[in-house]
Amino acid sequence: MGLLVVGSLGLDTVSTPFDKVDGALGGSATYIALAASYFTGPVYLVGIVGEDFPKEYIRLLENHHVDLDGLQVVPHGKTFRWSAKYHYDLNVRDTLFTELNVFEKFDPVIPEKFRKAKFICLGNIDPELQIRVMDQMNSPKFVVCDTMNYWIEGKKDELLKLLKRVNVLIINDSEARLLAHEPNLIKASKIIREMGPQILIIKKGEHGALLFTEDIIFSAPAYPMEMIYDPTGAGDAFAGGFIGYLHKTHDLSPENMKCAVVYGSAMASFCVEKFSTKGLEDLEYFRVYDRFREFLNLSKFDDKE
Amino acid sequence: MGLLVVGSLGLDTVSTPFDKVDGALGGSATYIALAASYFTGPVYLVGIVGEDFPKEYIRLLENHHVDLDGLQVVPHGKTFRWSAKYHYDLNVRDTLFTELNVFEKFDPVIPEKFRKAKFICLGNIDPELQIRVMDQMNSPKFVVCDTMNYWIEGKKDELLKLLKRVNVLIINDSEARLLAHEPNLIKASKIIREMGPQILIIKKGEHGALLFTEDIIFSAPAYPMEMIYDPTGAGDAFAGGFIGYLHKTHDLSPENMKCAVVYGSAMASFCVEKFSTKGLEDLEYFRVYDRFREFLNLSKFDDKE
């Protein structure tokens, strides 16, 4: 049974202090699917593009065992486009433009064969659409969802409805503070978990990630990066690695969940090492595993008493 | 042989959104000495106070096996005073006043018996004074030093001279960026280690701490705190726990250094749980050890492959 991924596919124009790309492959579903593909397959992808979406990107996804039966290609339509410029401090970016194009009318229709999927990753799109996906599923077992400030502020009611139906929410620290109206992340985690998701993951960029469950708090380190070429998609790559590893192992224990957070962090670290999706295109599983081991060495210490 | 601690002793007036204290025990040497006292003893303290320094604070330090033979008490002098107000976001504080008083003329004189100390912790004071301490020591084996933005900007030359003579520099992330002129902490760590200290520790507050040695990078998690009552002294408590544990174990291997960073983090977490030095006054070693175990559980994960 495949892993269902729903989200955006787009063409990105991104500049950083190091380089610039135009019309590069982007979108939350793209990054999630590519990252997950190193752990499991097939990935059932549901999204929308225009006729201008390059064939090479289709081939790239197919080569990663992404099942595109749920990809709507709108005749004469234009693909979603996004442009951003990152500053010297890569934590600061300006969005230069967002052209929704065909994405404006996106109505996620889940193909019959996808509806039996047990593992679902809802990429960062309008919570109304995320709910519409859930309504079409037969009996999902494990649902991971992402969101952002824009929806927390603009579609709070729909988001709260959705949160009652998901197992895991993955957000960053500023989103967690905003959603919970609470600056302390430990307090915020309790407030958010009471909104529905049993499991909360707070991504903290260069400071790693925190996993909160009923019984544990786990602090995953950040990979020590000397150079970040393009932060775009890091959060989606994290989500893809996280759910991809869990879909592969089918072990939802807290101990395995910790490993999934580290595999998510590993995929995010590969993602930002190159522009656009390049860092996720030509990996080998042994490199992913090696990086997992690096995370282990980075945070491991022993009790000598 | 005792552990030598040199730094400030002061009377603090501090307010946070939760409470306010006036004339509370403060100063870098005080926090370092109290934190270290849970691991080792005696602590040889060198500092200066005025005649107004309360007898109860002297007794408190003596009860923690702090040897005060190096404490200069200036007749008719007034003790160093510092006042600060923390905002709702406890990362932001305003210094309301700093009265150097007797500290202005502090010339650290190391008593003969202290000069043989092998482990030295130089609290955050003028690097010229830190150098003067080093000049009086016989054959120090392991020197830890702290500093701050004020000295990095105002006494750079003296600080660089000092750094060639210390084994460990402990600073926070903004200080590391300032000292190295480099925003990326991994790159900054290399630049700073080339200035002299073989070992660099970068404290990141609520995001934990990073340890850099020749061979390893270690990422220590932060203790998940729901409530921080008073952040004052956390960095000094960290340094005290770090060197106290190393002085106790006399094991300077990278593996043991990691444990020392975690014990430092543990002492910092106790420090901020109460006002002023209260959180470091009545601990028991088993509580320190329990917290160390909590850090272990917080960051531990296993490779299941």
Strand partners, A168: A144, A199
Residue B233's pLDDT is: 96
Residue B93's pLDDT is: 86
Average pLDDT, chain B: 96
Contact criterion met (CB below 8 Å) for A99 and A80: yes
Distance CA A271, CA A42 (A): 21
Contact criterion met (CB below 8 Å) for B145 and B116: no
Range of the domain at B78: 3-299
The tally of domains found in chain A comes to 1
Q: What are phi and psi of B140, to 5 degrees?
A: -65, 145
Residue B14's pLDDT is: 95
pLDDT in tens, B15-34: 998 889 999 999 999 999 99
Distance CA A246, CA B230 (A): 41
Contact criterion met (CB below 8 Å) for B256 and B249: yes
Residue A169's pLDDT is: 98
Is residue A304 domain-resident?
Answer: no
Q: Of chain A residues 6-45, which have a CB less than 8 A from chain B?
A: none
pLDDT in tens, B35-67: 999 999 999 999 999 999 999 999 999 999 999
Residue A87's pLDDT is: 84
For residues B63, B66, B69 and B73, what is the CA-based torsion angle, rounded to 10 degrees? -70
**B227 in A contact zone (CB under 8 Å):** yes
Residue A17's pLDDT is: 85
Distance CA B93, CA A73 (A): 55
What distances in angstroms separate CA A11 from CA A54, A92, B78, B302, one per listed residue? Answer: 9, 21, 68, 38
Cis peptide before B42 (omega within 30 of 0): yes
Q: Of chain A residues 63-102, which have a CB less than 8 A from chain B?
A: 88-89
Contact criterion met (CB below 8 Å) for A16 and A232: no
Q: Do A88 and B298 touch (CB under 8 A)?
A: no
Please give the helix or strand (H or E) that residue A32 lies within, else none.
helix A28-36
Is residue A163 domain-resident?
Answer: yes
Q: Which strands make up the sheet holding B3-6, listed edge to edge?
A: B66-74, B43-50, B3-6, B119-122, B142-146, B168-172, B199-203, B209-212, B217-220
Six-digit token pair at A115? 């509806």
* pLDDT higher than threshold 80 for residue B158: yes
Distance CA A254, CA B9 (A): 46
**A282 in B contact zone (CB under 8 Å):** no
Is residue B255 domain-resident?
Answer: yes
Strand partners, B264: none
- For residue A36, the domain's CATH number is 3.40.1190.20
Is residue B304 domain-resident?
Answer: no
Q: How far apart are the first and last CA of chain A?
A: 47
Is residue B305 domain-resident?
Answer: no
- What whole-number percentage of chain B has pLDDT above 70? 100
Is residue B48 domain-resident?
Answer: yes
Q: B153: which residues sit within 8 A by CB, 6+ positions away?
A: B178
Contact criterion met (CB below 8 Å) for A8 and A78: no
Nearest CB to A298: which of B184, B218, B289?
A: B218
- What whole-number percentage of chain B has pLDDT above 90? 93
pLDDT in tens, B208-239: 999 999 999 999 999 999 988 999 999 999 99
**B301 in A contact zone (CB under 8 Å):** yes
Q: Do A305 and B289 touch (CB under 8 A)?
A: yes
**A256 in B contact zone (CB under 8 Å):** yes
* pLDDT higher than threshold 90 for residue B87: no
Cα Rg for chain A, rounded, in angstroms? 18
**A221 in B contact zone (CB under 8 Å):** yes
Please give the helix or strand (H or E) that residue B17 lies within, else none.
none
Q: Do B299 and A302 touch (CB under 8 A)?
A: no
Mean predicted confidence (pLDDT) in B247-269: 97
Report, in this order, helix, strand and coil percent for chain A, each rounded to 5.
40, 25, 35
List chain A residues with CB under 8 Å of B222: 219
Mutation target to probe the A interface, by most A beta carbons within 10 A, among B172, B299, B304 is: B299
Planar angle of CA A11, A12, A18, nearest 5 degrees:
150
Contact criterion met (CB below 8 Å) for B81 and B52: no
Mutation target to probe the A interface, by most A beta carbons within 10 A, among B255, B301, B305 is: B301
**B304 in A contact zone (CB under 8 Å):** yes
Mean predicted confidence (pLDDT) in B157-168: 98
pLDDT tens sequence for chain A (305 residues) = 899 999 999 999 999 988 899 999 999 999 999 999 999 999 999 999 999 999 999 999 999 999 999 999 999 999 999 999 998 777 778 999 999 999 999 999 999 999 999 999 999 999 999 999 999 999 999 999 999 999 999 999 999 999 999 999 999 999 999 999 998 999 999 999 999 999 999 999 989 999 999 999 999 999 999 988 999 999 999 999 999 999 999 999 999 999 999 999 999 999 999 999 999 999 999 999 999 999 999 999 999 77
Residue B18's pLDDT is: 85
Q: Do B218 and A302 touch (CB under 8 A)?
A: no
> Which residue from A minimizes the CA distance to B263?
A303
Q: Do B225 and A186 touch (CB under 8 A)?
A: yes
Which DSSP state fits B295?
A: H
Distance CA A233, CA A118 (A): 24
Amino acid letter for position B26: G
